[in-house]
Structure 1
């Protein structure tokens, strides 16, 4: 017997089956995965979790804990929306200033960035949005003079892209690509 697919909904709008099964779990304790098939949202939203004592069973999370987690998520979304509104309000007033002293209105294909933190943030954002490949040109200084923690950040970013099935192509100066440290760096990365 095939069950109809579970309707998509948010944690704030818990479905009837989920509400009923969560209440049952709170009253009775442990539930099997088969009992919860009608409401997989309970596990997705963190209302049921694997039991530590019986690995093939699920146990309910305390309602106060679940409510706190959900409210924290809602509060973060509200705070994000308020920040976006403040930022939009700030730029609303600034966009009314029509100045011939500004740069081109279009988003440039190439953007000049300065400062290691700003460059690092731009690389992190671009790699988080990348889905298939990264093409990069590295200056000599980026590998030979960067502190070790910068390399760890870069390795983590590179590995995340590889884990998503992406590919990395990098251009280095001829002399840099033969450095033992460079070969070791790419030897550590594990493609999918």
Structure 2
């Protein structure tokens, strides 16, 4: 039975409290101790370090230190034996599981896992920094969204400067709307010929490719999780997607092509094509990297230019003037011809 005050001495026989140490030491030296002297340390009875004197119940006699040591060592031995048994079971189980997944979970030695989930900005940042340090030749990126804000560009600036310092070439894809951001122009001016940028009406979600061996893509909408991909087939597929988008894109230094329709801008033609496909304003805005408010302002201007009094009538007018298809990409020869003089 636990006596009063037991909760005040939550310890084992191998590490007595100060009060228990004093009483037990006295009992060992004298051979016994008065029961009243041990009332403040009921843990000694709970741990069987003291037990009643069969000749006089008002006194307690100590358990011999040798017996206490034997009991403690036996307990430790039992704990170690149980831990070894559990460890052996765990090793055997996971060796069996590893055999099941041996063909699909990894790529070549030293290349890491084929797919890794990065949970949280700190882990994503650490993985990007590691890939940056290992990169030696090329970085390809797709940067969706609208105008790039200064703080967004500065977040990866240290990586970009480190890459430039090692002679790594970079190619970046943006939405056309990013052309209007001074921050992006300042960034490209700082990076010089280490970075080449092009734009499209629409780009895929964010993508970063290092040396065509490792890729990073978002794993959720708010980009707090990412996937690190090292499987050669997946990476090669993403490289192919990037290269095809790159061929369709327009160099940032080249003007956007004229629509050929008086009063209709390139962006309005893009909006018209998406309206013809039946997309809502919010979807169009997201795909073109503009705000919903800006998108609706363009739709209103488009309606006014085409003389449409309703959305239904606007759809008819879009088809009549041939705006229902995507804007014609600038031919590479035209792009070179239209480049401003560099002299």
TM-score (norm 1): 0.46
Of structures 1 and 2, the larger Rg is shown by 2
